[in-house]
A and B are shown apart, each in its own frame.
Chain A
Amino acid sequence: MRGSDRDAFSKRHPLVNFVFFIGAIGCAAVIQHPVYLLAGAIGAGSYHLLLNGRKGWRMILGMIPMFLFLTAVNPLFNIYGATVLFHVFGRPYTMEALMYGAAIAAVFMVMLLWFGCYNVVLTSDKFTSLFGDLIPALSLLLVMVLRMIPNFLRKAKQLMGARRSIGKGAGEESTTKEKLSDGMTVLSALTDWALEGSVITGDSMRARGYGVAKRTSFQIYRMTCMDWTLLALISLLLAVVIGFAAGGSTAASFTPDLFFAPIAGWDALGLIAYCLFLLIPTALHVKEAIQWHISRSKI
């Protein structure tokens, strides 16, 4: 998680992060107006690059073939469209359907980019601390599972090593059948060990008073003044975007004829609000970087 250590938006309260991503991903999933899509791609792409650096470029470049594929394939399924380019298997391949495919592919890519950012910013500890009060038993369950997985992975390796050292395990040259039966033995042994431990853990939890009273949860994150301001800003901008979208200023239809709601006059406000909303994490990051630069040059 190298990106999240230095990123200003990641340091904000998990609630701020969560609301932002719900809004950004939700808008990306629904709005398919090309201008909004472009805004979404720029917002998601820039933040993705800030978080992931060189790795981010690789992911974005890797998306291009998928984008082209989804675009090109769509007219094969969607034959509605006024401008026929050519015929495939006797079905018309239309320009409008091709554009529609590009829009849907862009929607998909922008969502993937936002999820890429989400995975870096909203780590599992933030997720569970966010839902700890709302769904206490499930959050505790999730915390336990997340802790056990690396533990079990390690134990599985130990079991395999132990079996190999007595000449029983499967190596590189074993047949698939041998590997399979060996794997099943390890899995079975792992389950045995883990279940035995679970009873002990459960008893220990009970002995220390689990379930006696309502659990309180330790909160490492506190909503600061800055967090409330950001949350208010995010909610306000989202409300504006949703309002304009409900009013039809993000409307776009592709088949049979292309139609995009014109962005002029008041409708431009919706787009401006959307851009401002999407640029919040990037702007925070840049602001922090500039401050750091200034305070360093003062020394």
Chain B
Amino acid sequence: MKKSKIATLIVLFGLIPGTLYLGTRLSGRSYYLVGTLMVIELLIPFFLAFEGRRPQARELVTIAVLCAIAVAGRAAIPIPNFKAIFAIIMISGIAFGPESGFLVGAVSALASNFFYGQGPYTPWQMLGYGVAGLLAGFVFSKNWIARKPLPMAVFGAVCVVLVVGPILDLSDIFLKLTQIDLAAVVVVFAAGLPVNVSQAVCTFLTLLLIGKPLLEKLDRLKEKYGMMEAGGDGI
């Protein structure tokens, strides 16, 4: 068995139950600490898989470029608060597969926070953004949805509202609520909805307008230089 697989198993069946147990033992309000520890533990297997794969130079640089474009993309569009970050993360996932998609998402979240400030939300953002790339990579690699502008755009918008947004709102629930029950959770999710919907609209428009050309560029890069192919040496 590969080292990263073993690490994944240790995390899933050792660390996470251990953290939950610790949470029940801690006095006081430990939701946030336990939740954040679990988020960080969830990130570990992905990072170890990347380290264990010993990425080649071209793959490393391409992933770095995608992360940097995801973060810097907002400067290219002269509309305030228009965020293309999710769209670019998703396109990376669609082009290079779920693992790379997750990595692009998680690293862009971390990197952008070096410019806008780290906070208690950083691990949650890394997970949420990563999941956006992971899901996109997974769904499209199985050919469940056609790689066409409109289906991609609809998928992106739904993914932001139903998956990524709620993951980010979860950190709010753990940080700001004293009594976690259904009503309170519903209110927090409802309060986060306008932001999530506006980001979904940005993702929808970006994927609709340049999803296809960007994807073609990445596909061409793969074809022209034989990058990121399974079994290939990917030099």
Interface residues of A (CB under 8 A from B): 25-26, 29-33, 70, 74, 77-80, 97, 100-101, 104-105, 107-108, 111-112, 115-116, 118-119, 124, 127, 135-138, 140-142, 144-146, 148-149, 151-153, 156-157, 159-160, 170, 176, 179-184, 186-188, 190-192, 194-195, 197-199, 201-203, 205-206, 210-211, 245, 248, 250-252, 254-255
Residues of B within 8 A of A198 (CB): 58, 61-62, 64-65
Would you give the shortest CB distance from B74 to chain A, in whole angstroms? Answer: 9
B58 touches A145 (CB 8 A): no
- For A77, give its contact among B118, B184, B214 (CB under 8 Å): B184
Chain B residues within 8 Å of chain A by Cβ, number: 68
Instruction: Answer yes or no: B177 CB below 8 A from chain A CBs.
Output: yes
Tell whether, in the assembled complex, residue A252 and residue B28 are in contact, meaning their CB atoms are under 8 Å apart.
Answer: yes
Name which residue of chain B comes closest to A159, CB basis: B76
The contact of B225 among A70, A188, A190, A199, by CB within 8 Å, is A199
B148 interfacial by beta-carbon distance below 8 Å: no
With both chains docked as a complex, state the minimum distance between the C-beta of A127 and any C-beta of chain B, in angstroms: 8
Q: A101 — which chain B residues lie within 8 A by C-beta?
A: 178
A160 near B78: Cβ-Cβ < 8 Å? yes
Q: Is B94 on the interface with A (CB-CB < 8 A)?
A: no
Inside 8 A of A97's CB, which chain B residues have their CB? 178-179
Tell me whether A137 and B51 are in contact (CB under 8 A): yes
Please tell me if the beta carbons of B50 and A138 are within 8 angstroms of each other in the complex: yes
A145 to B105, CA, bound (A): 12
* Chain B residues within 8 Å of A124, by CB: 114
Whose C-beta in chain B lies nearest to the C-beta of A176?
Answer: B79
Inter-chain contacts of A29 with B (CB < 8 A): 30, 32-33, 36, 120
A254 to chain B, nearest CB (A): 7
Bound-state CA distance A191–B221 (Å) is 12
Complex contact B76–A141 (CB within 8 A): no
Give the CA-CA distance A68 to B78 in the complex, in Å.
36
Report which of B68, B79, B110 forms a contact with A148, defined as CB distance below 8 A.
B68
Query: Dominant SS at the A interface?
Result: helix
Cβ-defined contact, A183 with B64, below 8 A: no
The answer on a CB contact under 8 Å between B107 and A149 is no
With A78-B178, A180-B77, A250-B27 as given contacts, are A206 and B118 in contact (CB-CB < 8 Å)?
no
Q: Are B58 and A191 in contact (CB under 8 A)?
A: no
Are A135 and B47 interface neighbours, CB within 8 A?
yes
Query: What 10 pairs across the A-B complex have the smallest Cβ distances?
Result: A183-B77, A202-B58, A148-B68, A152-B72, A205-B57, A78-B179, A144-B64, A77-B184, A186-B76, A202-B61
Hey, which chain A residues are within 8 Å of B235, CB to CB?
Answer: 206
How far apart are A205's CB and chain B's nearest CB, in angstroms?
Answer: 4
Could you give, for residues 210-221 of chain B, a 1 whenever the CB lies within 8 Å of some chain A CB and a 0 otherwise?
A: 100110011001
Contact B179 A77 (CB under 8 A): yes
In the complex formed, the residue of A with least CB distance to B110 is A142
- Determine whether the beta carbon of B218 is less than 8 Å from that of A195: yes
Contacts A181-B209, A195-B221, A245-B27; is A254 near B51 (CB within 8 Å)?
A: no
Point out the residue from A146, A190, A252 that lies within 8 Å of B111, measured CB to CB. A146
Q: Nearest A residue to B184 by beta-carbon distance?
A: A77
Least Cβ–Cβ distance between B36 and chain A, in angstroms: 8
Expressed in whole angstroms, the minimum distance between the Cβ of A74 and any Cβ of chain B is 6
Contacts A141-B107, A149-B115, A187-B76 given; indicate if A136 touches B51 (C-beta within 8 A): yes
CB interface residues, B 66-105, toward A, < 8 Å: 67-69, 71-73, 75-79, 82, 84, 103
Which partner residue on chain B sits nearest A139 by CB separation?
A: B51
Cα distance, A201 to B82, chains bound together (Å)? 30
